Structure 1
């Protein structure tokens, strides 16, 4: 299906960037000759990239002597280019391999990466052998590495060795990368302590209790007293990396699974599995869930255990309208305010809300627009916000995470202003009476803040800067996909693939947009529009070639946002590999 065919062997470009983390010094592909190398192009804001980090852990362990994984950090947001922020993220997400810091996207461009995450496999002789985009490729990579081990072991070109990974020195703090806090009836705070994989009860700054049994919990919701009495637990926890909702009984410390089975949901899994739930809030008689991993809002009824999709198509982007048609991008913080549910939509750097069955955007412009600027809808900018709360005066507090700021949005005037700056990645905001607490994730603390103070914004706005692809007015879009070794296309239940194409602005495409099951399509673009972003979402299913009971099946999927410019001499082909073998090695 859309295979790449036989091509000349391509020597992998050398690795270049600003510096290295998790290793004693710079690494070169020449130094790693004899080892299989997997480059993981990632950025720490990206939920799909975080999924891939987890997917690769077993691969890394299985081939510890033969395979070297190198993370190539290629930032989307300005904050992610800060080396201190990157070092914190490498610790936060337990990255256990060397990381190249590539803020200028030098290595990204050398490998023609177009999406986060992108994975490139290099053989022991230094040639590119496979290219993948998106998540769900761990099985394919394992199969390819196993094949390379056999081939190059036989040729004598494989030279197993120790890993160049050098772990950083851990720092001991009471909280580590906390994400959210809620108030308990006795005045204590309950904190989702993501870095310690715990929920922690605080009395002031004193740790009272620690509750174990989680993996990077990010959200907490205290149930109403009558509901808690009926169901037998007090708090719903968004247990993010366990891909589940958990119930916590405060009196006993018991933790139970409410929804999800510990496995990440992929397309077609229904509601039996979850994908990185990030926050939870009580609204209109249900627990609402920010399902960051698939860009949706879900609901959970603690009395019946029913789980349902409430909003979002799983397409990543910013699109308002009826709940079932809306597009989100890494739904994160939630806050209920009467008839409205407010949410921080992190990857679109936007503040949005649900009201009367419709999704609306208060502040925000799209996947690649961000900044730090006060004003109304047209001018104001946020940078990857993760938390929201309703303030005592009815305005909305926003944790503007990557700007290190606390912002205020006034629904009555439509204006965004700045309350405080200089915060360490504020991720959660708690208002308890007249007292407000900010969860400073990167500073590993919860601090009381004044809502009366006023900070000035810095007045910048930006777009994610990536190389623009020059294409013609008529272009053939191809998304190559080759099933992993030992697997075949899985078409048992209908078409095995899907391709969705849209654009910003929509007028960029005159023909060829929409949804089809073919991974090849001709696009007609409008030269009068000139330039924009093509949004391409693809998925393909594969299954063990021998089939039968117990056959392993996998869904491979990715979204691309490709900046393009239409020129008379532009390329007639646009190739976005979903999973393709480059050459025989």
Structure 2
């Protein structure tokens, strides 16, 4: 760092996974890594998994602290946060920061953001986005001996206290399907697929990292490939084929690595749901905001829709934007989508022409930062992070409105959304069995849908984050330094990429588009006044091997920065991608 910056103290509402409040002062002598996250964010969930090997390797020298800084209203509920910490097996202390006090103290601008603090209480590195675990490991490998030699590193025990183990048949069930007389449940919390008959467990299929979606194949296809059910293993970045007869399962797509920009489709990124449509398995690839397809017979995996840009943009399949698609349901030539991070209900309309010409439409939802709980038409209606969809016999769409704890119903004929049930604990899926059954994830159960006439308490909200004031002409900088022992290697082509867009589009007069430099001059329109800058950056850092080979890692982050244009606003916007000098 050009100047040593003292790390601000940790402040929030309370703590989880530890016996009492923690302070940086009492953690002096060890490295501290702050992980600013929110449990709706798929990138944040990726980072929790990425950090596990680093936590294990430096268990004596490093304390990881999750700082939970919520995006949605529901995420500010301490009970919901405790559920999320349990579901995602977070094995370090978590600071509950619903008012973003610590978030603002560290000038965080993105979920996730990582801040490394040295044993003397100073910030030594900042990283935005995912893909930084190897950089952190390399940095710690270099710094640990230095601080040990100067006597300021004093290894100690972890302040983590594990919660009591859960004793229940189901743990955070995600989706369910009917297979003959069985209800098959993707049980995310137990890392298994559970078969129920009359509510009792008759079989449990294990081996998954975190199953969330299930798809029953047509009988002829199942007979040809030797399995009946496709399982979306979200944390494992795989699709599995499950043979219910033998109980055996095998990986049918995905190599277990998280797909990053430039990778082939042999890797996947957090597949969340799967459904059979148009002769293939369609995959809600939540980790990269796309829809993919998988052909069980040929084994082919293809990208079907989405650019990887996160947002809500209706267009032909290759040009549309999604935001963590997490639920799929079929109604003839329509594929319905619960697009969770935009709190949206959307659909793909199949046509007579090539798939590339099929169109994406939005029924409910405005964008990344608008959500709520209201019935009505598209202009008025609001959802809050829905994870599941289903279609009834009248072609109406049932929505598991997860963060509102409700089941909503959308009628395509009228364009109206109505609430049919409230008071549920994070419903994440629906299944037609003896009427409709709700997968009530937060209550660890499958429960019958009982329609109600009560009108819920309605609200409309926008994500509340500090607005950044800027002048009309802005120099955008994305600082990045390669980890120790690596460098940005452009011998075989550009190693960096920067994409800049805005909502509304008129906010940007100049500077929109894609380039390879991690910096750009922007001209903003003062007459628009305010909006959101969407900035996506990535950089590849490589260890140069003997000869021409290189082992490379990708660092990437998307920022959605709320801005307001003022006459005397700053002329520079700095969004660190990562590094000890960033």
The whole-number CA distance in structure 1 between the counterparts of 2:22 and 2:487 is 36
Answer yes or no: is 1:386 the counterpart of 2:371: no
The whole-number CA distance in structure 1 between the counterparts of 2:114 and 2:81 is 19
The whole-number CA distance in structure 1 between the counterparts of 2:394 and 2:413 is 11
The whole-number CA distance in structure 2 between the counterparts of 1:455 and 1:482 is 56
User: 5+ residue gaps in structure 2?
Assistant: 351-357
Give 3-state SS (helix, strand or coil) of 2:471's partner: strand
Give 3-state SS (helix, strand or coil) of 1:120's partner: strand
Alpha carbons of 1:88 and 1:549: their partners in 2 closer, same or farther (altered >3 Å)?
A: farther
The whole-number CA distance in structure 2 between the counterparts of 1:547 and 1:143 is 20
Answer yes or no: is 1:129 the counterpart of 2:124: yes
Aligned residue number for residue 50 of structure 2:
55
Answer yes or no: is 1:284 the counterpart of 2:278: yes
The whole-number CA distance in structure 1 between the counterparts of 2:166 and 2:329 is 32
TM-score (norm 2): 0.97
User: 5+ residue gaps in structure 1?
Assistant: 1-5
Larger deviation, residues 21-30 vs 452-461: 452-461
Alignment of 1:79-478 (within 5 A): 79-185=74-180, 187-356=181-350, 357-432=358-433, 435-450=435-450, 452-478=451-477
Deviation of the 1:150 alpha carbon: 1.2
Alpha carbons of 1:548 and 1:158: their partners in 2 closer, same or farther (altered >3 Å)?
A: farther
The whole-number CA distance in structure 1 between the counterparts of 2:95 and 2:399 is 32
Alpha carbons of 1:245 and 1:86: their partners in 2 closer, same or farther (altered >3 Å)?
A: same
Deviation of the 1:501 alpha carbon: 0.6
**Contact between 2:545 and 2:551, CA under 8 Å: does it hold in 1?**
no
Larger deviation, residues 455-464 vs 120-129: 455-464
Alpha carbons of 1:307 and 1:546: their partners in 2 closer, same or farther (altered >3 Å)?
A: closer
The whole-number CA distance in structure 2 between the counterparts of 1:582 and 1:106 is 24
Cα root mean square deviation, aligned = 1.1
The whole-number CA distance in structure 1 between the counterparts of 2:489 and 2:100 is 36
Deviation of the 1:449 alpha carbon: 1.2
Aligned residue number for residue 73 of structure 1:
68
Aligned residue number for residue 3 of structure 1:
none
TM-score (norm 1): 0.97
**Contact between 1:128 and 1:582, CA under 8 Å: does it hold in 2?**
no
The whole-number CA distance in structure 2 between the counterparts of 1:152 and 1:526 is 49
The whole-number CA distance in structure 1 between the counterparts of 2:333 and 2:17 is 48
The whole-number CA distance in structure 2 between the counterparts of 1:14 and 1:34 is 15
The whole-number CA distance in structure 2 between the counterparts of 1:437 and 1:493 is 54
**Contact between 2:480 and 2:581, CA under 8 Å: does it hold in 1?**
no
Alignment of 1:482-561 (within 5 A): 482-546=481-545, 548=547, 551-561=550-560
Give 3-state SS (helix, strand or coil) of 1:442's partner: helix
Aligned residue number for residue 11 of structure 1:
6
**Contact between 1:374 and 1:457, CA under 8 Å: does it hold in 2?**
no
Deviation of the 1:392 alpha carbon: 2.0
Give 3-state SS (helix, strand or coil) of 1:48's partner: helix
Deviation of the 1:201 alpha carbon: 0.3
Deviation of the 1:26 alpha carbon: 0.5
Give 3-state SS (helix, strand or coil) of 1:552's partner: strand
Deviation of the 1:550 alpha carbon: 6.6
The whole-number CA distance in structure 2 between the counterparts of 1:387 and 1:154 is 54
* 1:443-479 Cα deviation digits (max 9, x unpaired): 00001113x5334232201000000011100000000
Give 3-state SS (helix, strand or coil) of 2:53's partner: helix
**Contact between 1:243 and 1:274, CA under 8 Å: does it hold in 2?**
yes
**Contact between 1:390 and 1:431, CA under 8 Å: does it hold in 2?**
no
The whole-number CA distance in structure 1 between the counterparts of 2:166 and 2:225 is 39
RCO comparison, higher one (Cα < 8 Å, 6+): 1
**Contact between 2:185 and 2:195, CA under 8 Å: does it hold in 1?**
yes
The whole-number CA distance in structure 1 between the counterparts of 2:198 and 2:490 is 57
Deviation of the 1:162 alpha carbon: 0.5
Give 3-state SS (helix, strand or coil) of 1:515's partner: strand
The whole-number CA distance in structure 1 between the counterparts of 2:497 and 2:413 is 42
The whole-number CA distance in structure 2 between the counterparts of 1:176 and 1:161 is 33
**Contact between 1:245 and 1:258, CA under 8 Å: does it hold in 2?**
yes
* 1:155-209 Cα deviation digits (max 9, x unpaired): 0010001001011112211000000000011x22000011000000001220010
Aligned residue number for residue 353 of structure 2:
none
Give 3-state SS (helix, strand or coil) of 1:153's partner: helix
